């Protein structure tokens, strides 16, 4: 495992870290507290020292479990996200009263005195033109409730606009099927010393290379019921890529890159960009941790391999994904 600076936070975090959206159970399945804690322990044993959670994951149980682990492992850093647990997502959830309440609830949920880094959880675009939202976060820093803050975004433009404020981190979708952040945003993030977390790194599993046209997902799985954005931004499901198109693109990547382990190579691809502080693949149980962390051990992709990824992206994905997010 290698470690990278997480922007102006100064934290040194594992380049392959852990996202906890699925912690303790797959999408739409009951939460298993033992599996959840054991997954964090397994990740830690593999060198992971950074977890990304949110107040709404598993109705707060993810946050509780991460907090419990951190209280026993103070060398671990984390982000939690706020503003999205109450539906429907609205601008009002990012006003001073809501943000203060959410932070207080996360502190209680995690049994901590201060939060390492709080991300606004995919605010609507208009929130970025509400300076009082960000000034509230500044005040929460002054009060010692949070150490740093930032944003988790849907669009590159949101990430760039957020840098108008005193943010420390941006969480953004970046993977072999979502290359646009590398065109401009990464340079700006480095210039402004902003930590970058790459979320949805495997495009909801498409970049595992294991799915076929006949693959079925559980009825409550977002890969079944959010393909057109019925529940939240469709850009978070398969990175906004048409499923069958994604299957074809993943198959071509496997063939042209000469790999049966596309998932690990897809994670290693993200780490080729030095603007990225960490990639945060998820895991619903301990057995999936080694699958993720082996990516840190792979050799760097060659120029030819990087060109193949771009070629497949241009062939299958760029239109329309490049222009939507």
Return the pLDDT at 86: 93
Task: Name residue 12's beta-bridge partners.
Answer: 5
* Mean of all residue pLDDT scores within the chain: 95
Mean pLDDT of 207-229: 88
Give residue 293's pLDDT.
Answer: 93
How far from 156 is each of 29, 40, 213, 325, CA to CA, in Å? 32, 30, 30, 6
Q: For 94-108, 172-186, 283-297, which range has the lowest pLDDT when averaged over its residues?
A: 283-297
Tally of CB atoms within 10 A around 188: 15
How would residue 28 be classed by pLDDT, with cut points 50, 70 and 90? low
| pLDDT for position 27 | 64
Q: Which tens digits make up the pLDDT trace of 110-126? A: 999 999 999 999 999 99
- CA-CA distance, 218 to 125, in Å (whole number)? 32
DSSP bridge partners of 148? 117
Distance linking the first and last C-alpha atoms of the chain: 31
Residue 21: both structure tokens together = 């959206």
Contact by Cβ (8 Å): 285, 45: no
Q: What distance in Å separates the CA atoms of residue 152 and residue 135, rounded to the nearest whole number?
A: 17
39-71 pLDDT, tens digit each: 999 999 999 999 999 999 999 999 999 999 999
Upper half-sphere CA count for residue 300 (Cβ side, 13 Å): 6
**d(Cα 299, Cα 182) in Å, to the nearest integer?**
21
What is the rounded average pLDDT of the residues 233-256? 95
Distance of CA 37 to the CA centre of its chain: 19
Residue 212 is classified by DSSP as -
Segments of the chain assigned E as strands: 3-5, 12-14, 18-19, 50-52, 77-82, 115-121, 146-152, 169-173, 195-199, 278-279
């Amino acid at each position: 495992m290698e470690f990278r600076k997480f922007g102006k936070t100064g934290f040194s975090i594992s380049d392959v870290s852990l996202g906890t959206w699925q912690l303790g159970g797959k999408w739409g399945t009951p939460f298993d507290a033992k599996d959840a804690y054991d997954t964090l322990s397994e990740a830690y044993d593999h060198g992971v020292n950074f977890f990304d959670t949110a107040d709404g994951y598993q109705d707060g149980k993810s946050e509780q479990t991460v907090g419990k682990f951190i209280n026993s492992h103070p060398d671990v850093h984390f982000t939690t996200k706020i503003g999205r647990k109450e539906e429907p997502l609205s601008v009002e959830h990012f006003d001073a009263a809501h943000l203060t309440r959410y932070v207080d609830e996360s502190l209680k949920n995690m049994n901590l005195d201060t939060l390492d880094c709080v991300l606004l959880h995919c605010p609507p675009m208009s929130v970025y033109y509400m300076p009082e939202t960000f000034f509230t976060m500044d005040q929460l820093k002054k009060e010692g409730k949070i150490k740093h803050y930032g944003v988790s975004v849907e669009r590159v433009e949101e990430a760039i606009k957020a840098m108008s404020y005193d943010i420390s981190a941006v969480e953004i979708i970046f993977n072999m099927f979502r290359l646009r952040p590398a065109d401009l945003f990464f340079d700006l993030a480095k210039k402004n010393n902003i930590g970058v977390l790459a979320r949805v790194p495997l495009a909801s599993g498409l970049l595992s290379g294991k799915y076929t046209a006949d693959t079925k997902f559980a009825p409550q799985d977002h890969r079944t019921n959010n393909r057109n954005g019925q529940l939240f931004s469709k850009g978070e499901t398969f990175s906004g890529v048409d499923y069958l198109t994604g299957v074809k693109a993943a198959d071509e990547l496997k063939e042209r890159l000469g790999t049966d382990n596309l998932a690990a190579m897809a994670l290693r691809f993200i780490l080729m960009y030095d603007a990225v502080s960490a990639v945060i693949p998820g895991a619903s149980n301990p057995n999936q941790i080694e699958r993720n962390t082996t990516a840190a051990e792979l050799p760097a992709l060659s120029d030819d391999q990087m060109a193949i990824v771009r070629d497949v992206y241009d062939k299958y994905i760029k239109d329309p994904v490049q222009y939507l997010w």
